Amino acid sequence: MSMQLGAKRPVTDINVTPLIDVVLVLLIIFMVLTPLAEKQMFMRVPEYEPPNTQVVPPESVPPDQIVLTALKNGRVLLNKQDLTVDEAMAKLKPVFEGHYSKVLFFNAQDGTRYEFAVKVLDEAHKAGVNTIGMMTDPPMVEAVGEGAAGGAPAAPPPAPPQ
Asked if residue 29 has pLDDT above 90, the reply is yes
Query: 3-state DSSP call for residue 78?
Result: strand
DSSP letter assigned to residue 47: P
Statement: 59-134 belongs to CATH 3.30.420.270: yes
CA distances, 60 to each of 67, 105, 151 (Å): 11, 14, 35
Sequence spans of domains, the chain = 59-134
- Kindly state the percentage of the chain with pLDDT values over 70: 67
Asked if residue 125 has pLDDT above 80, the reply is yes
**Residue-wise pLDDT tens digits, 63-114:** 678 888 999 898 998 888 888 999 999 988 888 887 777 888 898 888 889 9
Q: How far apart are CA 120 and CA 74, in angstroms?
A: 10
Q: What is the DSSP string of 5-43?
A: SS--PPP-S---HHHHHHHHHHHHHHHHHTTTSPPP---
Return the pLDDT at 67. 87
CB atoms within 10 A of CB 89: 21
Q: Where are the alpha helices (DSSP H) in 34-113?
A: 85-96
Confidence of residue 26 (pLDDT cuts 50, 70, 90): very high
pTM recorded for the entire structure = 0.50
